[in-house]
């Protein structure tokens, strides 16, 4: 049911509610639509239009980039988990910084913010919150991968 903002809350497979406009809901896309009032909703997984725009308006290119992210994200999180386990501050900071940039480039701003939090903590020399942040990063990455699959269909699953 649409509210006054033009968005309809829908629930993903993780039981988390997201907002999507009616056309996105009909297409099975969750949390992908930019807030019509000019800002990003706090619960937006990523902005499909922004990502496609960064790919010269070519949804096929965006889908190929999405597939590469999906294929690599598990390995990236494993590398990050290893660096955290080893208390390797430099590696955690560098990996989090790189992944923050990847997420931001893919218009996954909430995921980028999570990576930024971890990067800052590592640069401050404090990894005490890193295990909790890693759990959040894994969950956010799973939601992002689900949203990519929804946004780009079979093209993003390759």
pLDDT in tens, 73-123: 999 999 999 999 999 999 999 999 999 999 999 999 999 999 999 999 999
| pLDDT tier for residue 143 given thresholds of 50, 70 and 90 | very high
SS3 17: strand
Q: Where are the domains of the chain?
A: 8-156
R_g (Cα) of the chain, nearest Å:
16
SS3 73: helix
Q: Using CA atoms, how far apart are residues 154 and 158, in angstroms rounded to an integer?
A: 7
Q: Which pLDDT value is given to residue 44? A: 81
- Indicate whether 14 pLDDT > 80: no
Q: What is the CATH number of domain 8-156?
A: 1.20.120.160
| pLDDT tier for residue 8 given thresholds of 50, 70 and 90 | very low
- Indicate whether 48 pLDDT > 70: yes
SS3 124: coil
- Indicate whether 36 pLDDT > 60: no
**For residue 35, how many C-alpha atoms fall within 13 Å in the half-sphere facing its CB?**
12
SS3 13: coil
Place of tokens 């790919």: 55
Q: Using CA atoms, how far apart are residues 125 and 105, in angstroms rounded to an integer?
A: 27
Q: Using CA atoms, how far apart are residues 130 and 81, in angstroms rounded to an integer?
A: 9
Question: pTM surpassing 0.75?
Answer: no
- Indicate whether 139 pLDDT > 60: yes
């Amino acid at each position: 049911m649409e509210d006054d903002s033009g968005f309809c809350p829908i629930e993903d497979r993780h039981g988390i509610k997201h907002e999507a406009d009616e056309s996105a809901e009909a297409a099975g896309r969750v949390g992908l639509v930019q807030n019509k009032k000019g800002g990003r909703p706090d619960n937006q997984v990523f902005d499909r239009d922004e990502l496609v725009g960064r790919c010269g308006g070519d949804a096929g290119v965006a889908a190929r980039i999405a597939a590469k992210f999906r294929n690599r994200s598990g390995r990236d999180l494993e590398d990050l988990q290893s660096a955290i386990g080893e208390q390797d501050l430099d590696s955690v900071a560098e990996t989090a910084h790189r992944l923050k940039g990847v997420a931001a480039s893919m218009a996954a701003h909430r995921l980028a913010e999570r990576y930024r939090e971890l990067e800052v903590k590592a640069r401050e020399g404090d990894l005490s919150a890193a295990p909790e942040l890693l759990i959040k990063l894994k969950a956010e990455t799973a939601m992002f991968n689900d949203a990519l699959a929804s946004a780009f269909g079979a093209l993003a699953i390759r």
